[in-house]
Amino acid sequence: MSVPSPSVEKRLLKTLTRGTFSSVWWKSQKKHLRRCPRCGGPLSRRLVRAEGRRRHVCRRCRHIVYENPKLVGATLPLRRGKVYLLRRSIEPSYGKWTFPAGYMELGETVEEAAARETREEIRCRVKRLRLQGIYSFKDTGAVTILYRANVVGPEPRPGPEALCVRAFRPQEIPWEELAFKSTYHGLRDWATARRKGNG
């Protein structure tokens, strides 16, 4: 199957809840948000009337701690019509397939972050990064900026966050074993473009 049918897609997307606000992983991350970064005072959830939203507010200094999405740089590492995916060796989504991706660091562009994460996760260099798409969802805390990129040099191999690395043709993508919604949508868009001769 090159791209899942609409009915299969609907079923698959219902299973991709790892890393969402309702997941055990996300809830465990939220437990760390207890102290004010300004004064160290305790935080509590309160309505900020001027914004009409509940936020973490310091009980001592009244500082509002905003929770904003993180930017993720990612690549579809391509060679000879195949995309390299890694099987994750960390949570969330341990053992699931995804493309190389990770949070941007201060002092780098999104493209640099995507290339760096590719080097770290599948031990290869990429060039000619072209924007594939920007993926954001209401129930996740990240915005994924995905680039198609050409693999250069030696064959990709697993880094410390990968159990293994494998190249897939569009019709070989393991749709039932993908890690995140952004993984699904990015690969679907690439496979669709390939079918139309644009990928």
**Ordered domains of the chain (ranges, CATH):** 6-21+68-195 (3.90.79.10), 33-65 (2.20.70)
86 contacts 124 by C-beta, under 8 angstroms: no
Q: How large is the average pLDDT for residues 117-136?
A: 97
The answer to whether residues 31 and 6 touch, using CB atoms and an 8 Å cutoff, is no
Mean pLDDT score, 28-39: 80
Average pLDDT over residues 5-17: 78
Question: Which of 21-30, 31-40, 102-111 is least confident?
Answer: 21-30
Lowest mean pLDDT among 26-30, 34-38, 164-168: 26-30
Q: What pLDDT was estimated at residue 16?
A: 72
Average pLDDT over every residue of 14-22: 67
19-51 in b/e form (b: 16+ CB < 10 A) is bbeebeebeeeeeeeeebeeeeeebeeeeeeee
pLDDT in tens, 135-175: 999 888 899 999 999 999 999 999 999 999 999 999 999 99
pLDDT of residue 8: 83
Question: Per residue in 42-99, pLDDT tens?
Answer: 999 999 999 999 999 999 999 999 988 899 999 999 999 999 999 999 998 999 999 9
According to DSSP, the β-strands at 70-79 and 142-152 are parallel
HSE, side-chain direction, 13 A CA sphere, residue 82: 12
Quick one: pLDDT at residue 107?
A: 97
Q: What is the pTM of this model?
A: 0.86
User: Residues 130, 147: contact at Cβ < 8 Å?
Assistant: yes
**Residue-averaged pLDDT of the chain:** 91
Contact 82/167 with Cβ under 8 angstroms? Answer: yes
pLDDT given at position 79:
98
Do 156 and 77 form a contact (C-beta atoms < 8 A)?
Answer: yes
- Of the pLDDT bands very low, low, confident and very high (cuts 50, 70, 90), residue 34 is confident
Write down the pLDDT at residue 99. Answer: 98
- At 9 the pLDDT is 79
- pLDDT on residue 28: 64
Share of the chain above pLDDT 90, in %: 74
Task: Give the pLDDT of residue 188.
Answer: 97
Within 13 Å, how many C-alpha atoms sit on residue 8's CB side?
Answer: 10
Region 103-112: mean pLDDT is: 97
CA dihedral 184, 86, 99, 177 (to 10 degrees): 0
Q: Of 112, 80, 185, give the one whose Cα is nearest residue 142.
A: 185
